[in-house]
Amino acid sequence: MTTYLGLPTAPAGVGHLRGSEPFPAAARRALADTQLRANLAMATTTIRRKRAAVVAELGDWEELRAAGQAAKTGMMRHLDRYLEQLEAQVQAHGGTVHWARDAVEANQIVVGLVDATGSREVVKVKSMVTDEIGLNEALAAGGITAHETDLAELIIQLGHDRPSHILVPAIHRNRAEIRQIFLREMADVDPALTDQPAALAEAARLYLRRRFLSARVGISGANFAIAETGTICVVESEGNGRMCITLPDTLITVMGIEKVLPSWADLAVFMQLLPRSSTGERMNPYTSMWTGVTPGDGPQRFHLVLVDNGRTAVLADETGRQALHCIRCSACLNVCPVYERVGGHAYGSVYPGPIGAVLSPQLTGVEENPTLPYASSLCGACYDACPVKIDIPSVLVHLRARHVQEAHRNHRLPSSEAIAMSAASWVMADPDRFAAAQRASRLGRPLGRRRGRIGQLPPPLAAWTRARDLPVPPAQTFRQWWRDEHERPS
Amino acid sequence: MRIALFVTCLADTLYPNVGRATVTLLERLGHQVEFPQGQTCCGQMHVNTGYQQQALPLVRRYVQTFKDCDVIVAPSGSCVGSVRHQHAMVARACGDEALAQRAEATGRRTFELSQLLIDVLGVDDVGAYYPHRVTYHPTCHSLRMLRVGDRPLRLLRHVQGLDLVELPDAEVCCGFGGTFALKNSDTSTAMLADKMRNVLSTRAEVCSASDSSCLMHIGGGLSRLRTGVKTVHLAEILANTEAAT
């Protein structure tokens, strides 16, 4: 089997890639949250319908998916070259490029850049990678206040909450809860605020407008970065991003190294795939693109921070590396029956759902997130929905194998599961041993003799019988019946 | 046609009637069924739990057992999915390229029951009779690994006396997922609850599917709640005739 070289993974103690408890325990708590279940079911059903409708409009959707997959695969093969090309182009257009090995370095760079401006406040465009590296916490530690300006991120920030969805971070909140948060946290909000969406949006608009007009530093992520011209692209719905990247004097863009695209022709493919897959729209309302600095127009200082934080380690895994193709659309979350029931917090990472279950453990190292690859029934709905055809079920199975291998290396004694699996393998490798085991399973028949079903079994099978009966093993297996019928000497 | 039956370890041990029904059905259609005695298990549970090394002897056994069979059928979408989509991968991950190539060849000759009936044998009316109200759960691996599409429904629509009712949200996973049902039993149960709610909303007497494993899960829940709704494998419905009733 493949051995993995010790490439650095995302460091512990900083950022949001690791949960505080195993997935099954976090999921159990989430499943008991009635409000969460209702909000999620409502929201994911709505987004699923919208996505299905706009995807069905395109006759060449499958070809587009294949083109997206091919563009990402080709780019990854020469990632080094495209990153250096991007750097050269950004510098040629008056920007500065910084390389960050991990979350710690990236945070240090950004805090240093903000410090240098003398500003104590920044406005932020919604960005996954800055949450991944825990930038807001690092800024706060440096005495700098970060204002989230995306409506949902604002709700999360004001609610002292964590995002639970890539696209809709506050998907677990309904409008009644949002009204409560605004009333509690916005100093000068109208006390007669209703929970009508327009009223809530207006309250946020008034609150944010003051921040936009006073901010001297903006921080963004990047959906795409085009190597051939050094152009950064941010795709959004609300227009807050446009404010953040045009009004301040200094703009700092933090991006994962996998977001680079070779050319504008590649971008054309992704601009068709992304809005349809994420919000279920033909085109998103605001697409902002900028190339370095334009004298006299917009920010006059531009910094691009390129973050690795475990991505090179992911790239080293031939099967797992396709997780880096993700364009953060969240279509896989919306179709996932596990995500729909447990929500995003149970995954313990800024990347929840199926893509999170394959991305987070690879960024941190599988043993730092060992329950996430198992947080799936392998139903495959995510693979069908993915606009860049990431074979998430196959990567999950692959990461499970990596976990078993690494656990085997790390522990002197095998787990009871490993013993059971080896025993089952030994039994099933031989039909006579298998037949003997089948005869032994008939010892279970008395357990259900009276009721015709088995309702209680000892651990580990108790996890089955807590909610489900088992049939009583039949008196005769199929192979016994076959022998009796077909091979009886006549 | 000579057809080799891969009965699957689960049906062999817990649901022998599914294997017997597959034999009855294919013999009634005029085919000769054989049961290679060397067969055990496809190894899917091992692969999907992360134990590829332990799955390797099972892959080897499957390939060896069925090497001379032209057409192999299994009454399980997920076991056929494993044979077709995982066996070669396991062999390669364990460094056995020769086995991988043999596994690919055996995989191409292995069919899920509805695929065999419609694609290989070219029949969608198998002459069955089943006078019950039935709803059908299409199972994830049949749908998304094997792409069987509406083949099971086409077969059911030709069954005399059968009242087929559409299952709401049919394509959503029932929550079984192999060891997922044990490792994440709470989430699995929540998914099962929604599947059962949809089954019960149809007022069907029977919930059918092409996988004994998913049916063990759905049926285990329906039995625990004493709903009175039975789970019956597609093969058992298709094997039933007016004469046999």
Q: What single-letter DSSP state applies at residue A368? A: G
Q: Same structural domain for residues B11 and B109?
A: yes
How confident is residue A246, by pLDDT bands cut at 50, 70 and 90?
A: very high
User: Beta B230-233 vs B206-209: how paired, if at all?
Assistant: parallel
* Total count of residues recorded for chain A: 490
Q: Same structural domain for residues B33 and B97?
A: yes
Percent of chain A residues past pLDDT 70, beyond the cut: 98
Q: Residue B18: inside a domain, yes or no?
A: yes
Q: Is the Cβ–Cβ distance between A328 and A284 less than 8 Å?
A: no
Q: Same structural domain for residues B173 and B65?
A: no
Give A-chain residues touching B143 at CB under 8 angstroms.
Answer: 380
Q: Residue B101: inside a domain, yes or no?
A: yes
Percent of chain B residues past pLDDT 70, beyond the cut: 100
Q: What is the pLDDT of residue A488?
A: 66
Residue B23, min C-alpha distance to chain A (Å): 10
Tell me the one-letter amino acid at A23.
Answer: F
- Closest-CA residue of A relative to B18 is A478
Once rounded to an integer, what is the mean pLDDT over residues B11-26?
Answer: 98
H, E, C per residue of A126-187? CCHHHHHCCHHHHHHHCCCEEEECCHHHHHHHHCCCCCCCCCCCCCCCCHHHHHHHHHHHCC
Supply the mean pLDDT for chain A. 95
Q: What is the largest CA-CA distance in chain B?
A: 53
Q: What is the pLDDT of residue A441?
A: 85
Once rounded to an integer, what is the mean pLDDT over residues B159-182?
Answer: 98
Q: Which helix (H) or strand (E) holds A471?
A: strand A470-471
Q: Residue B178: inside a domain, yes or no?
A: yes
- Closest-CA residue of A relative to B225 is A468
Q: Same structural domain for residues B179 and B96?
A: no
Half-sphere CA count of A127, side-chain side, radius 13 A: 32
- Closest-CA residue of B relative to A432 is B38
Rounded-to-integer distance, Cα A103 and Cα A110, Å: 11
- In a mutational test of the A interface, the residue from B22, B34, B185, B211 whose CB has the highest number of chain A CBs within 10 Å is B185
Q: Same structural domain for residues B171 and B94?
A: no
Lowest mean pLDDT among A91-100, A170-179, A266-275, A406-415: A406-415
Q: Domain residues for B182?
A: 133-239
Q: Same structural domain for residues B70 and B101?
A: yes
B9: nearest Cα among A428, A388, A382: A428
Buried b (16+ CB within 10 A) or exposed e, A388-422: bbbbbbbbbbbbbbbbbbebeeeeeeeeebbeebe
Rounded-to-integer distance, Cα A210 and Cα A254, Å: 24
pLDDT tens-digit series, residues B109-134:
999 999 999 999 999 999 999 999 99
Token pair for A306: 């390129």
Q: Same structural domain for residues B34 and B12?
A: yes
Give B-chain residues touching A402 at CB under 8 angstroms.
Answer: 50
Cβ-defined contact of B95 to A478 (cutoff 8 Å): no
**A208–chain B Cβ distance below 8 A for any pair:** no
What Cα–Cα distance (Å) separates residue A38 from each residue in A44, A450, B62? 10, 40, 45
- In a mutational test of the A interface, the residue from B24, B183, B215, B216 whose CB has the highest number of chain A CBs within 10 Å is B183
Q: What is the pLDDT of residue A412?
A: 76
Percent of chain A residues past pLDDT 90, beyond the cut: 90
Half-sphere CA count of B85, side-chain side, radius 13 A: 19
Strand boundaries in chain B, DSSP class E: 2-5, 32-34, 72-74, 110-112, 133-136, 163-165, 206-209, 230-233
Q: Same structural domain for residues B190 and B112?
A: no
Q: Residue B104: inside a domain, yes or no?
A: yes
Rounded-to-integer distance, Cα A4 and Cα A11, Å: 17
Cβ-defined contact of B140 to A378 (cutoff 8 Å): yes
Token pair for B237: 């419905």
Of B120, B146, B170, the residue that ends a domain is B120
Rounded-to-integer distance, Cα B77 and Cα B144, Å: 10
Structurally, how many domains does chain B consist of? 2
Q: Same structural domain for residues B85 and B155?
A: no
Tell me the one-letter amino acid at B76.
Answer: S
What Cα–Cα distance (Å) separates residue B65 from each residue in A178, A423, B39? 62, 21, 6
CATH number for A1-409: choose from 3.50.50.60, 3.40.50.720, 2.40.50.100, 3.40.50.10420: 3.40.50.10420
Cβ-defined contact of B187 to A401 (cutoff 8 Å): no
Cβ-defined contact of A397 to B11 (cutoff 8 Å): no
Supply the mean pLDDT for chain B. 97
Of B94, B120, B146, the residue that ends a domain is B120
Q: What is the largest CA-CA distance in chain A?
A: 100
Residue range(s) of every CATH 3.40.50.10420 domain in chain A = 1-409
Of B67, B85, B120, the residue that ends a domain is B120
Once rounded to an integer, what is the mean pLDDT over residues A1-14?
Answer: 77
pLDDT tens-digit series, residues A395-451:
999 999 999 999 999 887 889 999 999 999 999 999 999 999 999 888 888 887 677
Residue A347: count of CB within 10 angstroms of its CB: 30
Query: Residue A24: which of B49, B52, B184 has the nearest Cβ?
Result: B184
**A460–chain B Cβ distance below 8 A for any pair:** yes
Query: Residue B175: which of A377, A404, A479 has the nearest Cβ?
Result: A377
Helix, strand, coil shares, percent, chain A, to 5: 55, 10, 35
Cβ-defined contact of B49 to A404 (cutoff 8 Å): yes
Q: Residue B127: inside a domain, yes or no?
A: no
pTM here? 0.96
Q: Residue B58: inside a domain, yes or no?
A: yes
Is the pLDDT at A5 greater than 60? The verdict is: no
Q: What is the pLDDT of residue A489?
A: 60
pLDDT tens-digit series, residues A33-71:
999 999 999 999 999 999 999 999 999 999 999 999 999
Q: What is the pLDDT of residue A466?
A: 93
Cβ-defined contact of A469 to B220 (cutoff 8 Å): yes
Q: Same structural domain for residues B183 and B109?
A: no
B234: nearest Cα among B62, B48, B11, B82: B11
Residue B194, min C-alpha distance to chain A (Å): 10
The partner residues of B135 in beta bridges, in order of sequence, read B165, B207
Size of interface A-B (CB pairs under 8 A): 197
**3-class DSSP assignment, residue B225:** coil
Residues 356-375, chain A, touching B (beta carbon < 8 A): 373-375
Query: Residue A341: which of B57, B185, B190 has the nearest Cβ?
Result: B190
